[in-house]
Amino acid sequence: MTTGDRAALLRQALGEVRELRARLDAAERMQHEPVAVIGMACRFPGADDPAALWRLVSEGVDAISEVPAERWDVDAFYDPDPAAPGKMISRWGGFLKQVDLFDADFFGLSQREAARTDPQQRLVLEVAWEALEDAALPATRVAGTRTGVVVGACANDYHRLHASLADADAYDGAGNAMSILANRVSYLLDLRGPSITIDTACSSSLVAVHLACGLLRSGEADLALAGGVQLMLAPDSSIVFSKTQLLARDGRCKTFDARADGMVRSEGCGIVVLKRLSEALADGDPIWTVILGSAVNQDGRSNGLTAPSVLAQQEVIRRALQSAGVEPRTIGYVEAHGTGTALGDPIEIDALKAVVGAARPDGNRCAVGSVKANLGHLEAAAGVAGLIKAALVVKHGVIPPHLHLKVLNPSISLEGTPFFIATETAPWPAGPAPRRAEVSSFGLGGTNAHAVVEEPPARPEHLLVLSAATPEALSEQARRYARLLSVESAPPLGDVCHTAAVGRVHLAHRLAARAADAQEMVRRLEAVAAGAPDSAIFRGRAATRRRVAFLFTGQGAQYPGMARELYETQASFRAVLERSAELLSRALDRSLLEVLFDARAAPLLDETEYTQPALFAVEYALAGLWRSWGVEPDVVLGHSVGECVAAAVAGVFSLEEALRLVAARGRLTKELAGRGAMAAAATSERHAAEVIARSGEEVAIAAVNGPTAVTLSGRVEALEPVLAALEGEGIEAQRLRVSHAFHSGLLDPMLASFEAEASKIAYAPPRIPVVSNVTGLVAGPEIASAAYWRRQVRAPVRFFAGMQTLAETGVTAFIEVGPHPVLLGLGQVCAPGDDSLWLPSLRRGRGDWEQMLGSLARLHVLDAAPIDWRGFDRDYGRRRVRLPTYPWQRRRFWIDEPRTPQAADVRPRGADQGDGAWRDWLYTLEWRPRQPLEHGCGIRPSRAAAPADLALRLEEHCRVFGGAPGEPEIPVLAGVDDVCARFAAEAVASLGAALAPGQRIGPEDSERLGVVATHRRLFARLLEILAEDGILRRDGPSYEVVA
């Protein structure tokens, strides 16, 4: 075997190892992947859907009532004496209405089968359908898919009520079997994933959710419906619970109160639709909340079969937090099991204190509550009821009041803990981290479940764009939106911003305000109305569209965690990064995502083997994000490895081919023996070349970044004398923190190998102009060749010349697409321009969204580029809401002294009208249809009367004076000429043209002055009028101002 054969085998083995590692990493990520709750439906006492449940808990409603007569005769079964045989000590419960009703025709059940089917099955069918509808998933779309169903249930009252061997028929078996609760949903909807009914008593439904998450993470299901159901149709279980002293006499769960004496039984059904978070984000599904992790355990042999275990509760909470990968100090709300027993409540609080109750240095507090205080104990459906409430709490950012707490149980102490029990509504404002909550559900027989949920991924910042035809109207608009957002019933801020962006015309005077929440947005808008400065408010007046260039940053701008915020909160950005990581898995030993976001792998980010692919992936995803928002580049330019991104964005090669090229570029560079050094020097290219020539050393000019900004590259011992010579002349020179001497002769040994790799790439002509690093000019067909990319690695980066090319092609908006704005500062020196826009995408040390939204806002308020606001919100499932209408700036227009017509005022044409009467003859009233105006509000003005029509009217009326149109002796027409000249001068000046003597102006200035295309001939005619009146003097195609 030759050396080449061994090397080939080694490369093959290395590739296979990398592939296996990538698969292992993917499997591990999937095992811990968060699960999105994309649909929720419920039927609880007093609440037929999640919105009604939120109203119920947020308004502090107690949904408990006396046992309805249609269930059982409460008087016959009630006795305050717990020892009374066959009696119960409570008259109360939480009941649904009309559980006997069912839409059998919809589900295809015959009348006989429906009557023999447990109402719990019927309820699950309806609520499961509603949950799918809430997720915007038609049942036809999930039919035949690997969708799992896991339902918790523990009661079978219907069968006990109607069990009779004499009346049994074929429908009784399936109609009352507990397993069929889940199976019937799967059967009727044609769902092919696992279908399971479980019974762990009170924890059944949360255990069902835990198992459903496991199905998704293991790949056994791609979608899951999970929840629980409970109906109280007979008194039997209530009598049993009464004998075990579990029921409260007053029918209230007085959770955590000193009066706690047991629970009140309740009923209902809750179903959630679950999906892996990455897929929910990619598919644009609406997300209620995210289940970060969960755990289930058992008390084991504790101090009693039905007695709670503090140690088991601690363990299940601890394991759920570990599964979620979050710290206990980040939890802001706990939805407790909270049955309201004198023994169970203190044990639950003690378990929470042991795991989550440590003092928090930041002073953040954690609320504790239980929905059982509102609804009672739903038993098998209790866990999913708590989950739905917790989802609503983190979504709305409000802690609802906890009912029935007057005096804290003396066995409970919250002192020294972050815990508090909110007896009144408490705000839960947004912070730097997402809102997180825990949900507990403990089974009667010791099976415990705990879950950790988080608010769905969302931008931590919102952008509200408003506009008006005048500055005054814009200020009033801000006041109106501030009032809207100040009220408690205000729509969600994200929906308000979305509707303002997509549901309103964007007028000339604009503002964009950035804020994290509604309260902050109100403060911003109040500052606008008051005329106060605010760095998060961007104001401008729409002008002409600009030519846009994307500038792609080169090596050196990277840092650990770059773009993390975008990755975590923007689905489309995340999808591109994950696709890049997948494509790079065979080329890199470590996962790209691990290198970017895992602190343990952070040092690798400065190794060129990882630096170049990481920069490429982040910049390519950033470019895709800008383009999804409607911002398309007219031309692209990249610096060094940034040019690879520019070429990929321009279509020279695909993402897969580009990553292969960049990975080879980084790998081959890393393998070079001599790494070398680089330095930046504040001198010109010519002078740097002279100093290098005098030193006699092998140092290369790696980049020309400006008129007096060059980068030098070479061996360390060769670079030192050059730097010393420059410093001796007083020229600043600074060593750069790099791994290799890029763009120097030290790269020569890898060029042939790199060209061989580049020759395997499929190329195409660029669809967008690319300014070449090699020449500084717009690249020709040579860019689509391996030879070009070999040369690009070695040749100096001609950034200075490239920026001049951009300026010469009319670019005035520069967006740096990279993790930190390195090129913008250089570019402003290379292509200075007072009206140019220099916009970063990201900036180290600043929030990703803070920077991105600031740059987007500046583009919008100047109308520098079209923004696709629907694309901007495509990943977030926004809804349109009602917003304030336009604030009209009305002024009085009225004839204060109307003139009463007299018969004598009507004279024959040509009669003597007296002094001044001729003025009335110069006006005629004529109604004409008008087109929408474009001035100020996007509406077009109607066309003026044709010159011939005007001449006829003047001729007709001038007969009064015995003259004809055009005769200079008629003073009326002389006045008309003067008015026309003044109007023309004012019209041109109002556009921003300087009409000072000596200034030049011509028809070609119309675009610069903002004249729309349909009016440019009119603009040229105005200039001709000014020339005819001696204000301008024609000089070739343009004019000179003379007066």
599 in Cβ contact with 661 (< 8 Å): no
- Distance between CA atoms of residues 625 and 474, nearest Å: 29
- Distance between CA atoms of residues 286 and 36, nearest Å: 9
**465 three-state secondary structure:** strand
Residue 955 φ then ψ, to 5°: -65, -40
In terms of Cα–Cα distance, which of 570, 28, 566, 26 is closest to 281?
Answer: 570
Residue 975 φ then ψ, to 5°: -65, -40
**Strands 709-714 and 733-735, how do they pair?**
unpaired
- Distance between CA atoms of residues 414 and 230, nearest Å: 33
In terms of Cα–Cα distance, which of 321, 404, 381 is closest to 355?
Answer: 321
247 DSSP β-pair partners = 263
747 in Cβ contact with 796 (< 8 Å): no
337 in Cβ contact with 441 (< 8 Å): yes
* CA atoms lying within 13 Å on the CB side of residue 734: 5
Please provide the distance, in angstroms rounded to a whole number, between the alpha carbons at the two ends of the chain. Answer: 93
647 in Cβ contact with 635 (< 8 Å): no
Please classify residue 910 by burial: count the beta carbons closer than 10 Å to its beta carbon, then call 0-12 exposed, 13-18 middle and 19+ buried: exposed
**89 three-state secondary structure:** coil
Query: Which parts of 264-381 fold into alpha helices (H)?
Result: 277-283, 310-324, 344-356, 372-375
Q: Is 377 a residue of the active site? A: yes
Amino acid at 704: V
- Distance between CA atoms of residues 208 and 25, nearest Å: 27
**275 three-state secondary structure:** strand
Residue 494 φ then ψ, to 5°: -60, -40
Q: Is 159 a residue of the active site? A: no
Residue whose structure tokens are 């102006």: 1001
Q: Of the residues 42, 213, 253, 377, which is catalytic? A: 377
Helix, strand, coil share of the chain (percent; to 5) = 45, 15, 40
Q: Of the residues 154, 213, 253, 337, which is catalytic? A: 337
Residue whose structure tokens are 């630096």: 611
DSSP annotation string for 392-431: HHHHHTEEPPPTT-SSB-TT---TTSSEE--SS-EE----
DSSP state of 336: -
Residue whose structure tokens are 């309806």: 126
Residue whose structure tokens are 């009335």: 920
In terms of Cα–Cα distance, which of 13, 78, 451, 481 is closest to 251?
Answer: 78
- Distance between CA atoms of residues 424 and 482, nearest Å: 26
- Distance between CA atoms of residues 479 and 524, nearest Å: 10
What token pair was written down for 1043?
Answer: 């007066």
Q: Of the residues 202, 497, 644, 830, which is catalytic? A: 202
**912-942 CB burial, b ≥16 within 10 A, e <16:** eeeeeebeebeeeeeeeeeeeeeeeeeeeee
Q: Is 337 a residue of the active site? A: yes
- Distance between CA atoms of residues 662 and 668, nearest Å: 10
The helix or strand, by DSSP H or E, that contains position 453, with its residue range, turns out to be strand 447-454
Instruction: Spell out where 85-194 has E strands.
Output: 92-93, 147-152
Which residues have a catalytic role annotated?
A: 202, 337, 377
